[in-house]
Every structure is written in C-alpha cells, then in structure tokens.
Amino acid sequence: MLAQSLADGILTGAIIALGAIGVSLGLQILRFANFAHAELVTWGGYLALVFVTFAGPGTPTGPFSFGWQLIAAMLLAAVLTGGLAWLVDRLVFSRLRRSGAQPLSMVFASFGAALVMRHVVVLIWGSGSYFYTSELQIALEVLPGVRMLPDQLFILGLTLLVVTGLHLYLTHSRTGMAMRAMAESPALARVCGIEVEAVVRWTWILSGALAAMAGVFMGLSPQIHPEMGLSLMLALFAAAILGGVGSLVGAVVGGLLVGLAENLSVLFVDPGYKTAMPFLLLLLVLAVRPQGLFGDKA
Amino acid sequence: MKHLLTLAAVLAAGALTAPNQTSAQAVSCPVKIGGILPMTGSMAPITKKIAEAAQLALDHINQGGGIKGCPVELVLRDDQGQPTVGVDAAKYLVEVERVPAITGTISSGVTGPIISSITGPSKIVQISCCSTASAFTLDGRSGGYFFRTLPTSKTQAFATASEIARRGLKKTAIIYVNTDFGVDMTRFIKEALPKLGGEFVVEVPYTDNQPSYRAEVTKALAAKPESLMLVGFPKDAVTIVREWLSLGGSPKIALNNSMRVMDFVNGVGPKFLNESFGMDNAQVAGATVDAFNKAFAEKYKYDSNGPGVHTQYDALMVLGLAMNIAKDLTGPSIKDAVRQVHAAGGAQVGTGPDEFKKAVALIKEGKPIKYFGATGPIEFDANGDVTGPALVWKIADGQIVTDRVISIEEMQALFKKVE
C-alpha cells in the first residue's frame, strides 16, 4: 500500500511537474501569475486529439496502448500549443505590458483569457469526454505490491527526458541564458542587449509545449474533457511556489511533492481531504523557507 | 408581530368554533394551496413540465369538486433555485396568503431551508415532487409535516444492496462521491448489506472533478475487495472505473442510477462492463399511470416523460384528497389526513377528475380511500417517504438494458427485512 501510493504519487507528480514548469517560468520571467496556463494543458490534450482522430492512436506498440501516431500527435500538439500560448500573449498580455499594466491587471486578464480559452474548447468539441484509445491496460506488478501501467512508465521516462533536455537548454543555449538573465533582472538584461520580446516569446512557446505534453499524458489516463486543465490548476501553482519560483528543478521537485502529498495522505486521513494536502505542505514549507525549496533569496 | 397576533387569533377562533360546526362551513372559499418551484434559474428547463403537471392536478381537483366544496387556487411562487428566495416565497405563502399546505420544491438545497425555517416550525404540510435528501424526514426538522412523492436515495441503496447479495458478490468495497447524495447512499448500503448476506470491507469517499483517483482506488484495493460499489456521477466514474480495472480491481461492479447513460458506458468501454450492473427507480405501469399520461398529452400536446412530472401531479392530488379528508384546514389536521390517502382496505381511486369526484363522494360518506396515482400506489411510510419499484440494468452488446424489475411488493419486503 505504501509502495503503491509512492508510485502513484510519482506518476501524478510527473504530470504536475510538466505543467508547473510553465507556471514557474511565467512567474519569474513574465512576472505575473498566469491562470490561463492550465487551459494550455486542456488545449494540448485536444489538439493531439485532432491528430489522433485523423491518424488513429496507432496499433498498440509493445506493452503500450498506443503507437507512434500518438507520439507524433503529442509533438504536433506541443508545437501548436506553444504557438497558441504566443498568440494569446500577442492578443492579450503584450498589449497590457506595453501600456505598463500592473501585475494584478495581468492576473485578472489571465482569468479572462482562461475563461475564453475553456469555452472555445466547449464550443468546438462540446462538453463531453473524449479518449485517445478505447483500450484498457492492465497494470503490471513491477515490484512486489506495486502495480504500474506500461503507459505510466512511458510517461515517467519521457518526462525525465524532457526535463533533462530543458535543463541543458536553459543552462547552455544562448536563448536559455537570455531567459535566465531576464528572470534575474529584466532591466539589466535589456542593457546587455537581450531582445526582451524574443525571450518572452520563447518563454510562452516553451510553457505551452510543456503544458501540451502534460495535457496528452493526462488524456492518456484516461480522458480528455474541457475542465481537465482547470482541475489541475491549483496543483500547478502549489508545485511552482513550493519548489521556488523560477527554478526548473524546483518546479519538478514541487510537482513530485504535490503528487506524493496527495497520494500518501490517503494512508492517514480521509481521502475527501486529499486535495487539501498539497496546500498544507505548501504552508509548512513557506513558513520555513518563504522563497520556496529551490528559490533564490529575494 | 402583527401577523403572528392575527394568526394566533384566527387559530384560537378556529379552535373554539370548530367543534360546533361541520367542517365544510368552517372553510372560506376559495381554498388556497401554496406552490414553490424554480420557474427561473438553472432548473427552469425541467420545471416547465413539472409546473404543467401541477396545473393539470389543479384542474382535475377543481373539476372533481374541489376541496370541501370550494374551488382551489394554487398560489405559485418562484424560488429561482436559491435557498434565500425559496424561504422568502414560503414565508410569503404562509404569512400573507395563509396557505395551510405547500407543494415544493425541486432542489434539496432549497427544500431543506424551507422545512427548517418555515413549514416545520409553522406546522404547514409540505409535499415535494423532487427532493431526495433522506435527512429531511429523518432528522426531525420537519416534525412530520414534510412528505414527498418520489423515493429517497434509501430505496435505491437497499435495492442495490439486495442485488449485490443476490448475485453472491462478496467483500464489497464502496467508493462514493463526498456529497449529501453519496454519503446518504453509502450509509444505507452499509446498513443493508450485512443484513442481506453481503459484506463490505472498506469505504472510500472521493471529491469530484479531480484529474486522477489512483489514490482512492489504491486505498480501496488495499482491503482486497472482490467487488466494487461505486456511487457517483458519470464523468468521474469513468476515470475511477478505468483506474480500478487497470490496477487489478474486480470487474464485478455495482453502479448507481447516474451511470445509466451511454456516456459512461462508452467512456469505460462496454466490453469491460459485462459483469457490472446498476440500479434506478422504475416507472410503474398501471391504469392510473396511463390515465395521467393520456390527460397530460391531451392538454399539452406532448408526452409527460421527464423528471418530476408524475411525482408533482401526485403531490398536489394527495394534498387535494387529504384536505378533503381533514376535519379542518389546519396543518396538523391535513398532516394526519395525508396518511389516510392510501388507507388499508380503502376503495381504490385513481387519477383524473372523475376519480377525484368518486374519492370526494367516498370521503363524504366517511369511507376510506386508497389512492393510486401517476406513479402508482402512494403509500407514505412512518417518515413521510414513499417506496417505489426499482430496476436493475446491465450492459449487453454495448447497450444499457433492463435486467429485472424489483416490484414495489419486493421493495417493501426488503425494507421490512433491513429495518
């Protein structure tokens, strides 16, 4: 039971981590809490669905419930969702930035954008649920007492790969360094000749792409519906703040901790209180380390 | 205060004069009955037909001789689906219109506050077509003045428990949605299951609208259950059932009525539900039901299918009959009379104006009646609730089909066995 809860927690945490990275980048580089981020998760799930509808989820390959088509759909959805995130920025946030809007105005604008994005999904696809595949996997006993689905192991592996890749990108590429510079100090970054708008654009595209992956992974286990992003939103913010704003490692660790807190809590308390557990953890961590686990001292 | 004083004066006068007069003379025409329904708001789409059923019942009562020789007027107020508005409406009906009885309303969230703050304390009879929360008739807030014409969640819970036992399912885990409905159902299933030969090993509540329920499913599976009872709503249930099966849970799954939709079946995949079954309230067949359906279709030019339509008709008809039986039109008398509407050994009366006329004639002769309504026999139990028949459904060839019907007699036997 304990081992199974640990495994479940890590799996839930991996999906949360992918979404939380975008939130964390947004908080640090764009400097406002973007509540529309969770809707990118939903859009990612639906955009992949469009491709899957045309190409099919593919014949199940090996132990997995899907074939190469779903991977292709995910990559396509990642690119398109990145584009969508940038489009929302052009339409809404960049205008506000130019007119020197306060962070609070940006937050409220993001609420508005979230509502519009969610309801466009309902408008196009309706309010019902969709599935990538009608197959149902039976979990394998990977360790004594620990059952996992092959799909979940795949999700975990891919998340690890993406996060490692992103970490290398942020630390070694010019764009990555520019992004980190922006996060440190926008004014200094501008003085150094960094093109602010380009960094902002990359931030949106990266956040969108990662959110889309989280959306596809969520859709795999097991359904896609218009509120899927919304149901994840609080967990994403808890993870980003818990890990420390602006830290990639922080967001990943934060995501895992949120997943673990939810899944382990049912061992001790009524599962009805499960969703409150990450916030209890958040309060505890913030009381000890106000900047979050991996955050720099402001 | 002025209202209260006047009310007290009227009651006192009534109490003094009643013994000396026949009841018909004590009544001033027309007789008013209060109605509260959400005519606007999120419930409005289903309320239209329900209000039409109420209007039809009112027509039938008036054509059948009214109440104690007087024509009847239904003073209908809108609750907008909001507790505050509903309580205001009830207050208006009781204090300004001085109605001795109210029919309403749909949402349990509105009905509850009306019972606690108005009809219970004022001793006004209230009959609802649609509120299922079992607490209303059990926690004492109504003082016995609240009745309803639809079965509570208890009926479904007992029926489900008996079917679990009948199919020989052992070691049942219960996963339920953490709302009044889910808690209610679980409580009754737990009460009934051991008495009927089943056993439950663990209960796990869940909060709706979450991305995953692995934690809940893992917790349930840790108790090594051999079957599952799932109480919830379709969208989350799809996730739960798929995770349950994926993690090695038994395919023997009992489901509640909300899952009787193809969205759920297709979501999980029909091939995984071959050993599952579910429960729902069954519609009774019978002459009085057909008569109502025919009368409704004639008046409104469309059929009477829909939630609350049949039960609302019965709610008002029961009031009409009870107020004829009651020795005077005060809450306590009407409350007692409601229980004589379906008296043992009474002459059977049904739906429609002619049947109502027949009932009024019998009542005048002092003979007992036995009302069979648009939902079949209306017999209130000690709490003021009715029992209805239930149906067991299952999935065959990708479709939801009725497996068998648990008749009202079987249902009553079941209640006796459990309680």
- Domain presence at residue A253: no
Q: Which residues of B touch A263 (CB under 8 A)?
A: 214-215, 218
Q: What is the pLDDT of residues A152-163, one digit of tens each?
A: 888 899 999 999
Question: Residue B178 — pLDDT band, cuts 50, 70, 90?
Answer: confident
Packing angle, helices B44-63 and B287-300, rounded to 10:
110
When pLDDT is averaged across residues B359-366 and rounded to a whole number, the result is: 94
A273 located within any domain: no
Query: Taking the C-alpha atoms of B314, B317, B323 and B326 in order, what is their torsion angle to the nearest 10 degrees?
Result: -60
Q: Which residues of A touch B215 (CB under 8 A)?
A: 5, 8-9, 262-263, 265-266, 271, 274
By the 8 A CB rule, do B357 and B382 touch? no
Task: State the distance between the two ends of chain B, measured CA to CA, in whole angstroms.
Answer: 44
- Find the residue in A nearest to B178 (Cα): A272
State whether residue A145 sits within 8 Å of chain B by CB: no
Residue B118 near residue B90, CB atoms below 8 Å: yes
Task: Give me the pLDDT at residue A159, please.
Answer: 92
% of chain B residues with pLDDT over 90: 55
Evaluate whether residue A192 is within a structural domain.
Answer: yes
Give residue B26's pLDDT band: very low, low, confident or very high (50, 70, 90): low
Give the A window 6-65 contacts with B, CB below 8 Å.
8-9, 11-12, 15
Q: What are the two backbone dihedrals, phi and then psi, of residue B348, each rounded to the nearest 5 degrees?
A: -70, 130
The answer to whether residue B219 neighbours chain A at the CB level (below 8 Å) is yes
Contact B211 A228 (CB under 8 A): yes
Confidence check: pLDDT of B354 > 60? yes
Q: Is B246 in the A-facing interface, judged by CB distances under 8 Å?
A: yes
Q: A123 in a domain, yes or no?
A: yes
What is the average pLDDT value for chain B, to the nearest integer?
A: 87
**A232 contacts chain B (CB < 8 A):** yes
What number of C-beta contacts closer than 8 Å exist between A and B? 88
Other beta carbons within 10 angstroms of residue B42's beta carbon come to 11
- Give the torsion sign (CA, B306, B256, B272, B168): negative
**Cβ-based contacts of A231 with chain B (< 8 Å):** 209-211
Q: Do A129 and B267 touch (CB under 8 A)?
A: yes
CB contact under 8 A, A129 and B235: yes
Share of chain A above pLDDT 70, in %: 99
Q: To the nearest 5 percent, what fractions of chain A are helix, strand and coil?
A: 75, 5, 25
Number of domains making up chain A:
1
Q: How far is CA B270 from CA A130, B250, B401, in A?
A: 15, 15, 12
Q: CB–CB of B216 and A128 under 8 A?
A: no
Whether the predicted interface score ipTM is above 0.90: no
B12 interfacial to chain A (CB closer than 8 Å): no
Closest alpha carbon to A25 in A209, A193, A149, A188: A209
Of B62-66, B151-155, B225-229, the least confident: B151-155
CB contact under 8 A, B248 and A1: no
The mean-pLDDT minimum among A274-278, B76-80, B145-149 falls in A274-278
Chain A positions in Cβ-Cβ contact with residue B208 (cut-off 8 Å):
none
CB-based contact, A89 to chain B, within 8 Å: no
Average pLDDT score over residue span B206-216:
85
Across the interface, whether the CB atoms of A271 and B205 are under 8 A apart is answered yes
Give me the mean pLDDT over the A109-137 stretch: 87
pLDDT for the residue B42: 67
SS (H, E, C) A33-45: CCCCHHHHHHHHH
Q: What is the mean pLDDT of residues B321-340?
A: 94
Q: Cβ separation of B214 and A222 shorter than 8 Å? A: no
Q: Quick check: bond before B105 cis, omega within 30?
A: yes
pLDDT digits over A258-280, tens only? 999 988 888 888 887 888 888 88
Q: What is d(CA B116, CA B122) in angstroms, rounded to the nearest whole number? A: 10
Contact A218 B211 (CB under 8 A): yes
pLDDT at B1: 44
- If we measure between CA atoms, which residue out of B114, B148, B118 comes closest to residue B133? B148
**Considering only CB atoms, which chain B residues are within 8 Å of A265?**
215
Residue A246 lies in a domain: no
Residue among A223, A269, A273 with most chain B CBs within 10 A, to mutate: A223
| Domains identified in chain B and CATH numbers | 28-150+308-377 (3.40.50.2300), 154-282+389-418 (3.40.50.2300)
Instruction: Tell me the one-letter amino acid at B180.
Output: D
Which among B207, B238, B272 is the nearest to A223, CB-wise?
B238
> Taken in order B225, B229, B231, B234, is the CA torsion positive or negative?
positive
Q: What is the pLDDT of residue B19?
A: 41
Q: Across residues A90-100, what is the average pLDDT?
A: 90
Contact check, Cβ <8 Å, B246/A136: yes
Residues A199, A26: contact at Cβ < 8 Å?
Answer: no
> Mean pLDDT, to the nearest integer, of B49-61?
95
Q: What is the pLDDT of residues B96-123, one digit of tens each?
A: 999 999 998 888 889 999 999 999 999 9
pLDDT, residue A57, reads 67
Contact A222 B238 (CB under 8 A): yes
Strand runs (DSSP E) across chain A, as ranges?
140-143, 146-148
CB B148 within 8 A of CB B127: yes
Residues of chain A positioned with their CB less than 8 A from the CB of B207: 271-272, 274-275
**pLDDT at B229 > cutoff 80:** yes
pLDDT band at B264 (very low <50, low <70, confident <90, very high): confident
Q: Is the pLDDT of residue B4 over 70?
A: no
> Closest Cα to residue A249, out of A9, A41, A24?
A24
Q: B362-374 burial, b if ≥16 CB within 10 A, otherwise e? A: bbeeeeebbbbbb
Residue B67 has pLDDT above 90, yes or no: yes
Would you say A82 and A209 are in contact if contact means Cβ atoms under 8 Å apart? Answer: yes
* Predicted confidence (pLDDT) at residue A65 exceeds the cutoff of 70: yes
CA distance B221 to B229: 12
From the list A134, A147, A270, the residue facing B205 with the nearest CB is A270
Chain A within 8 Å of B205 (Cβ-Cβ)? yes
Please give the residue range of the domain that contains residue A220.
Answer: 2-226
Residues 6+ positions from B289 with CB-CB distance below 8 Å: B283, B310, B351, B374, B375, B376
Are residues B206 and B196 in contact, defined by beta-carbon separation less than 8 angstroms? no
Q: What is the pLDDT of residues A176-191, one digit of tens each?
A: 888 888 888 888 888 8
Split at pLDDT 50, 70, 90, the class of B3 is: low
Query: Which of left, alpha, beta for B21 (phi over 0: left; psi -120 to 50: alpha)?
Result: beta
CB spacing of B215 vs A137 below 8 angstroms: no
What value does the CA radius of gyration of chain B take, rounded to a whole number of Å?
A: 23
CA distance B38 to chain A (A): 25
**pTM across the whole model:** 0.75
What does the alpha-carbon distance between residue B326 and residue B2 come to, in Å, rounded to a whole number?
28
Contact (CB<8Å) B214/A134: no
What is the Cα–Cα distance from B390 to B405, expressed in whole angstroms? Answer: 6
Measured between CA atoms, the residue of chain B closest to residue A232 is: B211
Q: Is residue A103, in this structure, part of any structural domain at all? A: yes
Closest CA to A31 of A233, A153, A253, A189: A189
